[in-house]
Every structure is written in C-alpha cells, then in structure tokens.
Structure 1
C-alpha cells in the first residue's frame, strides 16, 4: 500500500509540472474538450437486456463532439472514437498531452436489483459513502483487463476498500471547476430532460485523479432499469443527452472563458458569429428584504484571518470567473458572504465558524437556498487544509 501511495505522489508532482498553464485560456486559444467514452473493445462495461454500456457511451460522446465542433474556438479530442480498448491511465495521458481545459468521461450505470434509475455526475474525491464507492470500484475495475496492472498500479486492488479510499487526492485544485461543470450537466439533465437527479457526488475514480485539468465522470442512467435502458439505447435519447451535455459545456465555457464563437450551419455552410463575455452565474433572488445589506468583503490572495484555535470552517457555495457584488440578493439571500481571488477564479464562501457541527448547519442552509453543490472548507491559520486534519486539530 505504501509503495502505491509513493508512486502516486511521484505522479502528482509530475503532473504539477505538466499543468503549469493558466486555469483560464485566452480568448484567441481554442477551448479543448476531451471526451472519454467509457470502456470499449474487450471491456463491455454494463450489459443488460442487450443494452451495452460501451456502445451507448461511444455514441453519446460522438454526438457531443459533433455539437461542440460547430464552434471554431472549441477543439474536441476523443480518448477513443471507435470500439477499441484504451487503458485507464492512457485516457488521462491523452488529456494531459492535449493540455485540455476539461475532461469528461461518459458512462452508464447499473444496479443488480434493477430498480434504480436517474443520472448522477462524479468529481474526484475520497468518500466512505457505500453507493459512491461501489460506482468507483466498478469503473476502476477496468484495470484488471490490463496485463500488467499489478505492476503499473503498484498493487492497487479495485476490490479493496483500503485501496479505493487510500488513493492520494491529486485533483483538489480543480475541484471547484469540476463541481461547477458537474452541476451544469445535472441541471441540464433535470431541467431540460426531466430526468431524475441523483446529484453531484464525489468518488475515488482513478481516471479522474490522473488528469491535470477539471475532470468529471457522468453516469447517463441505469441500463439495468429497462425503461431507462431503452431510452439510453435509442437514437432520440442519445441525441437529447448529447445536447444536454454540450449545452452544459458551452455554458461552462461561457462563464469561465468567454471568447468568440463561430457556428457553422451544416445545411447552408454559413457562419454565424456569437460574441461572448465571461458570464456571471445566474442566481435567483429569493430574499424579500427591501434593504440590501453589504456582506463582509474579503478579496485577497493572502491567508484569511481565522477563528479560535486557528481553525475556521466556511461553506464554499460557488466559484466564478467574474467578481460579484457581495450582497445577499446575489446569493439567494445568504449573508455574510466573503470571496477570495485565486488567479482570477473567485471563490465565494458563506459564513464562518470554528465549530464543525455549526458548519454543517450552515451547509444545510446553503443547500436549502439552492446551492446544492456547496461544501465545507477548512482553514488553519488562514491556509486551506482537509476536513479530517481540521477535526483532529480542533
């Protein structure tokens, strides 16, 4: 196990060197999207009622790519565009070599009981949630089809709970953007397609952890649930899912990158220019307060002052490429809200406390206000630390 951890630490520092590019691309640089259709070749993935995961994932990915390639400032890279087997680490290497802006792995879910349904999207994270771990174990198990996986993955066993939760977290610096993109995809699935929303979740996925850019894995639905499997296997369903995903990617690109899009009409071959500025996240004003109270403003790259014992818990509610006025009406009535500028990425935090149980109450309040992807962040002497480290020190 220690050999496995040391090897991944080495890989982490190697990826840090490879990922020195800015978090945000320049408007004259193409926005690079890596689409990763899960499984392939000898790896069928889930297979129920004749619905085969590898085929559905590939068809949806190609349709997403076709939608995005209409824009001349977007470049699409596929980890596979045919029915071939691609090793897990090679998928990540493809994205890293391309210096991609985002990595999206597309999969279908399955449940032995056959009654689960709905969509869920994962970001990299360590969790002990049983259902999240099962999904990660299933997707990580593909490495057993690689002839030298025991050597290549330093003894990692995808069926071992210790191995799964022992993966060193390399994706932390991209977590905010990964959550944002995941949320946009889930919102498209839910609001446009009326699919059951199983949420944005965290899981220890090897393929996500080896990429040096915001990376997510989306489960389109359960092919083990026959009605949903029929939808996923249909051309109509695949077209709708692909449009939802590509619209979410375009929305993410608009918010973080801006730029100028040129859309080419396939029938007339005429180009339409669409100028885009970096967008501001759409927020609904649910507050009935007539007087707008200014929230505490913290915009700094320096350590944030903290509470007693040097431990502070805050609720990160969003991250954006554009600065927002820190008033309750911009954050669905939440107050106080502070913000930290990290290389042009504005991270917005709700409230502050040295008590973890109180922080969980603030988290519940933020989720009730519409920030379903919000999460608790811990600081010690102004520096960000893990929740586990904070609880031990507190």
Structure 2
C-alpha cells in the first residue's frame, strides 16, 4: 500500500514535471515559432567616394543619393519588422559587385538602389527600373551611364570578364533575367513609382526594365530608382534641398512598408498546415491588359485565375496542390495552343521553384 502511494505520487510528479517542461517549451519557443518574419532591406546609395556620379548644375549625385538613402533607412528602421542595411552610409567608394554581395550575404528580402539622372536636354521626372532586356535605346543609355562606374574599380577586368560598359552588346549580353524575382521587383517598383507620381506629383517616367549591373549582382527582388534629373535646374534644386530629399525618401520608404505589408499577408505561418501548403499553377499568359477570365477568352479553358502584380496581369490555369495534376493541366494548356505555357509553384502565396515545391512535398 505504501509502495502504491509512492508510485502514484511519482507518476503525478512526473506528469507535473512533463507539463511544466512542455509549458516552458511552448512559451519560450512561441515567440520564435509564431513571430512575424523580420524583413531585411538593403538600401544602396549610388556612387560615392572617387565616383561623384553626375554633376548636373554642380550638384553631386553621390551626396543626394546618400541623403535620400539615409532618409529611407531611418524611417524603415522605426518599424520593428524591418532590418535596414546600407551598402554605404558615408562618402566612400563601393564596387558595384560589392553592393550586390552585401545584399546577398545578408539574405536580404529587398534591394533598393538610389540614383539621380542626367541629360543634355531639360528632361525631368522620376523613374524606377527593374532588371530586364526590354528597355529602349534611351533606357540603354541610362544603364550604360550607371554601369560606367565599373571602370573605376581596381580589378574590373577580372571581376567583370572584359565587360565594356560603353558597349550595347555587352550590356545586353549581361542579362540573366531572374524570373523568380521579377514579379516582386515589378510590384515594389510600381508602388514606388505611384508614390512619386501621385503623392508627390513628380513627372512620371514610369517603371521600366533594363540591364543595370548593380541589379544583376543581386539574387532578391531589386529596383533602381532615378530620383530625377540634376541637369534640370528646377528639379536639381528640389533634389538638392532637404525638403526634396525628405519627400522622395518618404515616398520610397512608404512604398517599401506597403510592399512588406503585402508580403505579410501571404507569409504569416500560424499553423503547420498552412506552412506546408503548396500550390502549382500553369501560367498561360502575362501582360498589361486586364482580360475577363471567361473560357471564351482563353480558348475554352475554365477557371482561369488572374493575378495583378504591379502593372502586369498574370493568367494561371489549373490551380492544384498535386504535381501530377499540374502536369496534366500544363499538357491541356499546350494542347489548346498555349505553346509557351509553363508550370509555376507557390508556398503560402510566395513563388518558389517547382523543384523546391516537389522536394517539400
């Protein structure tokens, strides 16, 4: 009888101990398990040190870019969910490859490079660029000017393997369009550009694609902002003023916070079930036209999904969690005439590679 009482007591003691251990584990780990992801944003002030950038109306691009970059970072740093890293926070020269390297090593979620433009005319206005080959001749000239800083780097011949920043062929030959990041790059670029155009009433030079070396070096969603033209007297004066720098900085930081808020809606992992959710889709079309998702608009395909990303619309067919079913949907789309259709995968609304999705499942 005495032994049984002790035995029962030991069982109760063990149960209590297990309960407290479990409680301690859940409470101590809940902050990390359920915590909101912290987003790392790398802010890149263009030029610096021995590279002044453009000198329109005797203003220095490197100084204006730095002041705006610091304004952006200071505002973002006030948000507990954002970690800010600068490629430079003072007047120093940083190689183009190093700027991207800083972002890559930090496993950044976003890279924003800040510059000022110049022209031989009285051109004015703000524009935002993402990596791509679709730029026209004017955009190509901008890319060549920004890439020319390579010539100031000590080992540029080895680092860039003979890349000539003044050659259109070399600029075009650099591009390896990162499809995984393009959608997000376009999304943040559109948010920034809309703030410039509609909140600050700056001349809207729109979102464009071109092959900037600093964007090519990064492996995350990235944009390059041209704040305006220093060669335009009125705009140069605005960008060189504290008021102008604060306004442009706020426009960029507000867009970044908006972008991160949208990411949060798709990445809140509240349960294991949601965390493991995978979706496959067949992308059949993409463009700026908003098309009703009726079967007659898509060669008879039913249940087509339309998703707006920046100023573009993506059209998907055959949304499923099963890879084999997705393969059948892709085959059906191609049989209907969508020869360039391809499969994409998403986890919690974020695009991942199909290979990664298969491994996860």
Task: Give 1:192's aligned residue.
Answer: 199
Distance 2:280 2:75 in 1: 38
Change (3 A) 1:258 1:336: closer
Shift of 1:258: 4.5
Q: Which residue among 207, 219, 238 is the counterpart of 1:212?
A: 219
Distance 1:251 1:44 in 2: 32
Shift of 1:257: 1.9
CA contact (8 A) 1:79 1:91 kept: yes
Shift of 1:235: 0.2
Q: Which residue among 61, 73, 97 is the counterpart of 2:69?
A: 61
Task: Give 2:292's aligned residue.
Answer: 335
Q: Secondary structure at the match of 1:157?
A: coil
Root-mean-square deviation (Å): 3.2
Shift of 1:28: 2.8
Task: Give 1:262's aligned residue.
Answer: none
Q: Secondary structure at the match of 1:257?
A: helix
Q: Secondary structure at the match of 2:145?
A: helix
1:173 aligns with 2:152: no
Task: Give 1:101's aligned residue.
Answer: 109
Distance 2:216 2:107 in 1: 15
Task: Give 1:315's aligned residue.
Answer: 286
Q: Secondary structure at the match of 2:80?
A: coil
Distance 2:222 2:182 in 1: 8
Q: Secondary structure at the match of 2:123?
A: coil
Change (3 A) 1:47 1:374: farther
CA contact (8 A) 1:103 1:216 kept: yes
Shift of 1:171: 2.3
Change (3 A) 1:300 1:100: closer
Task: Give 1:321's aligned residue.
Answer: none
Shift of 1:152: 1.2
Shift of 1:173: 1.4
Distance 2:290 2:210 in 1: 31
Shift of 1:334: 3.8
Q: Which residue among 145, 149, 168 is the counterpart of 1:142?
A: 149
Shift of 1:128: 5.3
CA contact (8 A) 1:31 1:74 kept: yes
Distance 1:337 1:200 in 2: 29
Q: Secondary structure at the match of 1:34?
A: strand
Distance 1:213 1:109 in 2: 24
Shift of 1:120: 0.5
Task: Give 1:285's aligned residue.
Answer: none
Shift of 1:374: 5.1
Larger radius of gyration: 2
Q: For residues 238-296 of structure 1, what are the alpha-carbon distances to aligned partners after superposition, in whole Å with 9 as ceiling and x for unaligned?
A: 0111111110000000011249xxxxxxxxxxxxxxxx989xxxxxxxxxxxxxxxxxx
Task: Give 1:182's aligned residue.
Answer: 189
CA contact (8 A) 1:171 1:211 kept: no
Q: Secondary structure at the match of 2:280?
A: coil
| Matched pairs, number | 277
Shift of 1:149: 0.8
Task: Give 2:233's aligned residue.
Answer: 226
Task: Give 2:138's aligned residue.
Answer: 131
Distance 1:373 1:230 in 2: 34
Q: Which residue among 304, 327, 339 is the counterpart of 1:380?
A: 339
Q: Secondary structure at the match of 1:105?
A: strand
TM-score normalized with structure 2 length: 0.70
Task: Give 1:78's aligned residue.
Answer: 86
Distance 1:99 1:371 in 2: 23
Q: Which residue among 115, 129, 144 is the counterpart of 1:122?
A: 129
Shift of 1:72: 1.2
TM-score normalized with structure 1 length: 0.64
Distance 2:311 2:175 in 1: 26
CA contact (8 A) 2:132 2:177 kept: no
Q: For residues 107-163 of structure 1, what are the alpha-carbon distances to aligned partners after superposition, in whole Å with 9 as ceiling and x for unaligned?
A: 0000012x1000100000013510110111011111000122112101110111110
Distance 1:87 1:81 in 2: 14
Q: For residues 65-112 of structure 1, what are the alpha-carbon distances to aligned partners after superposition, in whole Å with 9 as ceiling and x for unaligned?
A: 110111111100000000000000000000000000000000000001
* Unmatched runs of 5 consecutive residues or more in structure 2: 1-33, 270-277, 300-305, 317-333, 345-361
Change (3 A) 1:138 1:303: same
